C-alpha cells in the first residue's frame, strides 16, 4: 500500500466510524425519548395524585407515545451532539500546535542548546527531510516521567510532535528514532485527522453525561422526582454512549498502532522501536501521562497514556508484549528493569545515523517512476540515511544559523541570489529598497558559505530554514514574502528554485503564521482540470530541456484514458504564473486524482532517466502544492547546474 491508499483507507475508516456513530446516536435518541416520556408520565401522575379533584374522576394511565415531545427531544439531542462534535473538531482543527500546547507541551525552540533537546530536534529533522514532510513543531511535556509521545495536527503541514521529559532522559538515540518514526507514520497514514474526529464525536456523549451530572447536583428547588429521574437518565445514557464510543475508538486505535509500528520499523530498519517498547515495559512509571486531557487524547499517544484501568477492550494501544513480538519475534518476554537515576547520560549527538549498507550520497538511488510514487509518504531506511547525508552536506555552522529567523531569512535570500556578479548586484539593489540594513548585512555575511554549497543541498537547506520562519509575526512574514518576490523577479533568467521556495513557504510556513484552515476538495473528476494538467506537464517537459516531446508523452500516458486529450504547449505559454494558477486548481482535487497527477509528473520528469536539479525543484513545488510528501530523490553523479540549464523554466 502506498501513501494515497493509506490516506484513502483512513478516510474509509473515518466513514465507518461515522456510521457507527450514527447508529449510536439513533439509539441514544430512542432512549432519550423513552426517558423523557417517563419523566412526563411521572409529572402527570404526580399531578393526578396530588390534585385528584382537578381530573374530575377521570382515570389516569401512563402515555408512552408522545410524537410532539419525541420530535423535540430528537431535534434537541441531535443538535446538542452535532453542535458539540462540530465545535470540538473546529477548535482542535486549528492545528497540532494548539493541541500540543493544550496538553501542557513546552515548545522546543530550534536554537536550543540543551543536548537532549538538540538530539530530539536533530532526529525529527532527519526523519522529516527523509520523508519529505515539513519539519513539525516539537514540544516537550515537562514534568512527565513516563515514556510517551504523540503527534497531532490536521495535515502534515500543521503537525506537531511532542515527547515527555522521561522519553528524553531514558531513551538512547536509536530508541528515540524508533519512537519518532512511529509518530511520523501516524502523520503519513492520515491518523491524525481520524483521531481528531474521534475526539469530536465522543465529546458529544461526554456533554450529555456531564449535563446529567450537573443537573443532579443542581439547586434545591430542583427536587421534583421527574427532574431527578431525568438527570439520572441523562447521566446514565451519556455514560453508556461514552463507554460504547470508547470501545469503538479503542478498537480502531489499536489497529492504527500496529500499522504505525510496522511502518516505523520498515522506515528505520533498526531495533530501536522494539527496544524503546521494552524500556517502557521495564520502567515503573511506564508510559503514564498525567494531564487532564490524557483521557480524551489517549489514542494520540505512542503507548498507553492511562493507568492500568484502561486495559483490555478499552485499551487504545495493544499490550507491549504483542507490539514487540510483532516487530521482533525473538523477544523473550522479559523487560529489563529501568529506573531514572541509573540511566547513563545519553551520548552526545555526534553522528547522523546512517544504517549499514546504505549507498553513499554519490551513488544512485534507483529511479523508476513507480518507485518514486511508491515512496510518496513512505520513506525507507535509505531515505533516512540519505536525508542525514543531505543534512550533512550543509555545514554545521550554517545549520546553526538557519535555526533562528533572521539567519534563516538571510540564508534563503542567499539561495535566491545569482552567482553572476552583475545580476546579483541588481538583485541586491532591488532588495535594498525593501529590506532593512541589518538584514542586508546578514545576507552578505553568509553569502560565500551558501554559494559554496553543493546544489543538491539547496532544498534540504531550505527545509531546515523553514521552521524558524514559523515564528515570524504575520507582518514580518508578509515582508519576507514580498522580498522573496523581489529577489525572484529581478533574477534574470528566473530560477525554478525561487518558485519552489515560494510554494514551500505557502504550505509549510503560512498555516502557522496566519492560522489558515486547509481547503476542501472541489474536484472529483479530471475533466475540469485538463487545461491545468496540460500546463503542468508541458512546463515539466520544457524544464527537462532534452527530449521535451518524449517527456510530455510519458507523462500523458500515465493519466487516465479520458484525461489524455492534452497537447504539449509551447514554452512561451509555460510561465510561472500559468503553472501557479494550474497548481492552485489541482490542489483542490481529491486524493486519488492528485495521486494520478503526481504520477504523471513523476513519469514526465523521469522520462529520460535523468533528473536535473531544476526538474527536481519543480517536482518538489508540485508535490508541495498537491500536499503529497515527496521524499528527496536526486540522481547522482551530482548534476552540476550549468547556469543556463539551471535557469530554464
Q: Is 473 in the site for other proteins (CB under 8 A)?
A: yes
Shortest Å distance, C-beta 363 to other proteins: 38
Contacts of 111 (CB under 8 A, 6+ apart): 400, 403, 404
Q: Confirm if 512 and 97 have CB atoms less than 8 A apart.
A: yes
Shortest Å distance, C-beta 136 to other proteins: 15
Between residues 21 and 139, which has the closer beta carbon with respect to other proteins?
139
Stretch that binds other proteins, among 57-65, 357-365, 437-445, 550-558 (CB under 8 A): 437-445
Q: Is 407 in the site for other proteins (CB under 8 A)?
A: yes
Stretch that binds other proteins, among 53-61, 187-195, 467-475, 481-489 (CB under 8 A): 467-475
Stretch that binds other proteins, among 144-152, 358-366, 440-448, 608-616 (CB under 8 A): 440-448
> Which of 439, 536, 578, 621 is in the footprint of other proteins by CB under 8 A?
439
Stretch that binds other proteins, among 331-339, 348-356, 468-476, 502-510 (CB under 8 A): 468-476
Between residues 389 and 442, which has the closer beta carbon with respect to other proteins?
442
Q: What number of CA atoms fall less than 13 Å from residue 256's CA on the CB side?
A: 33
Shortest Å distance, C-beta 109 to other proteins: 6
Per DSSP bridges, beta strands 137-141 and 160-164 are parallel
Shortest Å distance, C-beta 384 to other proteins: 29
Between residues 29 and 410, which has the closer beta carbon with respect to other proteins?
410
Here's the x/- map for other proteins, 78-107, by CB under 8 A: it reads as -----x---x---x--x---x--x-----x
Contacts of 29 (CB under 8 A, 6+ apart): 73, 74, 77, 78
Size of the site for other proteins (CB under 8 A): 27
d(CA 493, CA 505): 22
Shortest Å distance, C-beta 530 to other proteins: 41
> Which of 222, 441, 546, 557 is in the footprint of other proteins by CB under 8 A?
441
Edge-to-edge strand ranges of the sheet holding 137-141 = 105-107, 137-141, 160-164, 149-152
Between residues 441 and 565, which has the closer beta carbon with respect to other proteins?
441
Q: Is 406 in the site for other proteins (CB under 8 A)?
A: yes
Query: Hey, which residues between 47 and 66 contact other proteins (CB under 8 A)?
Result: none
Shortest Å distance, C-beta 54 to other proteins: 22
E-only strand ranges, 116-248: 137-141, 149-152, 160-164
> Which of 172, 404, 444, 645 is in the footprint of other proteins by CB under 8 A?
404
Please give the span between the terminal C-alpha atoms of the chain, in angstroms, as a whole number: 34
d(CA 118, CA 130): 18
What torsion do the CA atoms of 365, 262, 302, 156 make, to the nearest 10 degrees? 40
> Which of 255, 339, 438, 525 is in the footprint of other proteins by CB under 8 A?
438
> Which of 193, 471, 506, 620 is in the footprint of other proteins by CB under 8 A?
471
Query: Hey, which residues between 179 and 198 contact other proteins (CB under 8 A)?
Result: none
> Which of 111, 174, 444, 580 is in the footprint of other proteins by CB under 8 A?
111
Query: Hey, which residues between 255 and 284 contact other proteins (CB under 8 A)?
Result: none
DSSP string computed for 554-614? HHHHTS-GGG----PPPGGG--HHHHHHHHHHHTTB-HHHHHHHHHHHHHHHTTTS---HH
Stretch that binds other proteins, among 54-62, 252-260, 382-390, 441-449 (CB under 8 A): 441-449
d(CA 513, CA 622): 22
Between residues 86 and 425, which has the closer beta carbon with respect to other proteins?
86
Strand partners, 283: 338
DSSP string computed for 83-139? HHHHHHHHHHTT-HHHHHHHTTEEE--TT---HHHHHHHHHHHHHHHHHTSPPPEEE
Shortest Å distance, C-beta 227 to other proteins: 15
> Which of 16, 63, 72, 573 is in the footprint of other proteins by CB under 8 A?
72
Look up 645 and say whether it is catalytic.
no
Stretch that binds other proteins, among 178-186, 259-267, 295-303, 398-406 (CB under 8 A): 398-406
d(CA 279, CA 171): 8
Q: Confirm if 117 and 177 have CB atoms less than 8 A apart.
A: no
> 183, 257, 442, 617: which is the annotated catalytic residue?
183
Number of helices (H), then strands (E), in the chain? 26, 4
Between residues 219 and 437, which has the closer beta carbon with respect to other proteins?
437
d(CA 618, CA 536): 10
Q: Is 109 in the site for other proteins (CB under 8 A)?
A: yes
> Which of 57, 475, 577, 637 is in the footprint of other proteins by CB under 8 A?
475
Rg (CA), the chain: 29
Q: Is 515 in the site for other proteins (CB under 8 A)?
A: yes
CA–CA distances in Å: residue 628 to residues 25, 27, 129, 381: 35, 40, 13, 19
> Which of 82, 143, 311, 474 is in the footprint of other proteins by CB under 8 A?
474
Q: Confirm if 209 and 238 have CB atoms less than 8 A apart.
A: yes
Between residues 118 and 648, which has the closer beta carbon with respect to other proteins?
118
Between residues 87 and 314, which has the closer beta carbon with respect to other proteins?
87
Shortest Å distance, C-beta 85 to other proteins: 13
Between residues 83 and 482, which has the closer beta carbon with respect to other proteins?
83
d(CA 220, CA 215): 11
SS3 of 333, please?
Answer: coil
CB-CB neighbours of 379 under 10 Å: 31
Active-site residue list: 183
Interacting residues with other proteins (CB under 8 A): 72, 83, 87, 91, 94, 98, 101, 107, 109, 111-112, 404-407, 438-439, 441-442, 445, 471-476, 515
Amino acid at each position: 500500500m502506498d501513501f494515497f491508499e493509506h490516506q484513502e483507507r483512513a478516510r474509509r475508516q473515518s466513514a465507518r466510524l461515522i456510521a457507527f456513530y450514527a447508529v449510536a446516536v439513533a439509539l441514544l435518541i430512542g432512549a432519550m425519548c423513552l426517558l423523557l416520556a417517563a419523566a412526563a408520565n411521572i409529572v402527570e401522575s404526580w399531578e393526578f395524585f396530588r390534585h385528584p379533584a382537578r381530573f374530575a374522576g377521570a382515570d389516569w394511565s401512563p402515555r408512552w407515545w408522545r410524537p410532539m415531545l419525541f420530535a423535540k427531544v430528537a431535534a434537541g439531542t441531535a443538535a446538542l451532539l452535532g453542535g458539540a462534535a462540530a465545535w470540538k473538531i473546529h477548535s482542535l482543527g486549528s492545528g497540532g500546535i494548539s493541541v500540543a500546547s493544550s496538553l501542557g507541551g513546552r515548545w522546543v525552540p530550534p536554537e536550543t542548546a540543551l543536548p537532549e533537546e538538540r538530539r530530539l530536534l536533530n532526529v525529527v529533522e532527519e526523519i522529516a527531510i527523509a520523508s519529505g514532510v515539513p519539519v513539525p513543531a516539537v514540544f516537550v511535556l515537562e514534568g512527565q516521567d513516563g515514556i510517551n509521545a504523540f503527534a497531532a495536527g490536521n495535515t502534515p503541514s500543521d503537525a506537531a510532535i511532542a515527547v515527555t521529559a522521561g522519553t528524553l532522559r531514558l531513551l538512547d538515540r536509536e530508541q528515540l528514532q524508533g519512537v519518532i518514526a512511529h509518530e511520523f507514520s501516524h502523520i503519513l497514514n492520515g491518523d491524525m485527522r481520524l483521531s481528531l474526529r474521534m475526539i469530536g464525536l465522543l465529546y458529544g456523549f461526554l456533554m450529555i453525561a456531564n449535563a446529567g451530572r450537573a443537573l443532579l447536583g443542581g439547586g434545591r428547588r430542583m427536587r421534583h422526582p421527574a427532574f431527578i429521574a431525568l438527570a439520572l437518565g441523562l447521566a446514565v445514557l451519556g455514560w453508556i454512549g461514552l463507554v460504547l464510543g470508547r470501545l469503538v475508538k479503542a478498537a480502531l486505535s489499536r489497529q492504527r498502532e500496529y500499522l504505525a509500528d510496522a511502518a516505523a520499523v520498515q522506515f528505520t530498519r533498526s531495533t530501536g522501536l522494539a527496544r524503546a517498547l521494552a524500556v517502557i515495559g521495564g520502567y515503573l512509571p511506564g508510559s503514564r501521562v498525567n494531564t487532564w486531557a490524557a483521557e480524551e487524547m489517549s489514542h494520540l499517544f505512542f503507548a498507553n497514556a492511562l493507568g492500568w484501568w484502561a486495559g483490555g477492550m478499552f485499551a487504545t494501544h495493544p499490550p507491549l508484549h504483542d507490539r514487540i513480538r510483532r516487530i521482533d519475534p525473538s523477544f523473550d518476554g522479559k523487560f529489563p528493569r529501568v529506573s531514572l537515576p541509573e540511566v547513563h547520560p545519553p551520548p552526545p549527538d555526534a553522528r547522523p545515523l546512517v544504517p549499514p549498507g546504505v549507498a553513499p550520497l554519490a551513488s544512485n538511488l534507483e529511479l523508476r517512476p513507480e518507485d518514486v510514487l511508491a515512496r510518496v509518504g513512505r520513506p525507507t531506511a535509505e531515505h533516512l540515511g540519505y536525508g542525514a547525508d543531505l543534512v550533512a552536506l550543509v555545514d554545521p555552522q550554517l545549520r546553526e544559523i538557519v535555526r533562528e529567523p533572521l539567519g534563516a531569512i538571510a540564508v534563503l535570500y542567499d539561495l535566491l541570489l545569482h552567482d553572476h556578479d552583475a545580476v546579483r548586484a541588481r538583485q541586491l539593489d532591488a532588495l535594498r529598497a525593501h529590506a532593512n540594513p541589518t538584514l542586508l548585512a546578514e545576507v552578505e555575511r553568509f553569502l560565500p558559505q551558501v554559494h559554496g554549497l553543493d546544489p543538491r543541498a539547496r532544498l534540504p537547506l531550505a527545509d531546515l530554514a523553514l521552521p524558524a520562519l514559523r515564528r515570524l509575526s504575520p507582518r514580518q512574514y508578509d515582508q519576507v514574502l514580498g522580498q522573496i518576490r523581489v529577489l525572484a523577479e529581478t533574477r534574470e533568467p528566473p530560477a525554478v528554485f525561487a518558485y519552489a521556495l515560494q510554494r514551500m513557504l505557502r504550505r509549510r510556513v503560512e498555516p502557522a503564521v496566519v492560522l489558515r484552515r486547509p481547503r476542501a476538495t472541489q474536484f472529483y473528476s479530471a475533466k475540469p482540470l485538463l487545461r491545468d494538467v496540460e500546463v503542468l506537464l508541458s512546463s515539466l517537459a520544457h524544464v527537462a530541456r532534452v527530449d521535451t516531446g518524449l517527456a510530455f508523452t510519458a507523462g500523458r500516458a500515465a493519466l487516465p484514458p479520458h484525461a489524455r486529450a492534452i497537447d504539449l504547449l509551447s514554452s512561451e505559454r509555460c510561465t510561472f504564473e500559468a503553472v501557479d494558477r494550474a497548481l492552485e486548481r489541482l490542489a483542490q482535487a481529491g486524493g486519488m486524482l492528485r495521486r494520478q497527477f503526481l504520477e504523471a509528473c513523476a513519469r514526465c520528469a523521469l522520462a529520460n532517466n535523468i533528473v536535473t536539479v531544476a526538474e527536481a525543484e519543480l517536482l518538489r513545488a508540485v508535490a508541495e502544492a498537491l500536499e503529497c510528501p515527496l521524499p528527496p530523490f536526486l540522481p547522482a553523479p551530482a548534476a552540476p547546474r550549468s547556469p543556463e540549464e539551471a535557469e530554464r523554466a
